[in-house]
Amino acid sequence: MNSALKWKLAFALLLVFVAGVTTGGLLSTLHMRHHFLGPPHSGEVAGRMREHLRRALDLTPEQAAKIAPIVDSTSAKLEAIRVETAQRVRSVMEESERQVSPELTPEQQKKLQKLKLEHHKLLMHHGFMPPAPDSPSPSDSAPPSP
C-alpha cells in the first residue's frame, strides 16, 4: 500500500469518526433538551402524569379513568404553585436590582440591562414565558396608596 493511499484511508476514518461524534452530540443535545431542560408546557403535565402512572402501575382503563380527575386537579395545583413561585422569584430579583442599580456606574447599569436581556432570552429559549425585562410589573403600575 503506497503512502498516499494510507493518508486517504486515515483521513476517511477520521472523517467517519468526526461525523459520528457530531451526530451523537446533536442527538444527545436534542434528547437532553426534550427530557431534562426547561419546564413541560402547562398542558402537558397532566398528560405526562397520567401516562407515567398508567405505565408504571399497569392501570386498567377503568382505573385510569377514575384517577384522571385526581391527576388533573394535582396538575392544576402544581401549575398554580409554579406560577406563584415564578412571581415571587421575579419580585425578589427586581428588588435586588433596584438596590444594586444605584451603586453602579452608568456603564455598569448598561451591562446589567444587557445581562437581564440575555437572561430573558435564555428563559424564553427553554420554554419559560417571563414578561419582557423592561415591562413594568403590575405592582409598578398600580396607583400609589394615599
Q: What is the pLDDT of residue 146?
A: 39
| 139, part of any domain | no
Cβ distance 40 to 50 under 8 Å?
no
Here the cell at position 56 is 408504571
Cβ distance 79 to 48 under 8 Å?
no
Q: What is the pLDDT of residue 35?
A: 55
Among the listed residues 118, 112, 110, 117, the one whose alpha carbon sits nearest the alpha carbon of residue 96:
112
Burial of residue 47 (number of CB atoms within 10 Å: 0-12, 13-18, 19+): middle
How confident is the model over 70-128, as pLDDT tens digits? 999 998 898 889 889 988 988 998 899 999 999 999 999 999 999 988 888 887 776 66
Count of domains for the chain: 1
| 29, part of any domain | no
| 54, part of any domain | yes
Phi, then psi, of 145 in degrees rounded to 5: -80, 145
How confident is the model over 27-72, as pLDDT tens digits? 887 776 655 545 555 667 888 889 999 999 999 999 999 999 999 9
| 71, part of any domain | yes
How does DSSP assign 85-121, residue by residue? HHHHHHHHHHHHHHHHGGGS-HHHHHHHHHHHHHHHH
Here the cell at position 34 is 426534550
Domain that holds residue 56: 43-127
Tell whether the model's pLDDT for residue 1 goes beyond 80. Answer: no
| 31, part of any domain | no
How confident is the model over 109-120, as pLDDT tens digits? 999 999 988 888
pTM over 0.75: no
| 28, part of any domain | no
Q: How far apart (Å, rounded) are the C-alpha atoms in residues 41 and 90?
A: 19
Q: How many CB atoms lie within 10 A of CB 117?
A: 13
| 109, part of any domain | yes
Q: How far apart (Å, rounded) are the C-alpha atoms in residues 85 and 77?
A: 12
| 52, part of any domain | yes
Please name the residues in contact with 77: beta carbons below 8 A apart, sequence gap of 6 or more: none
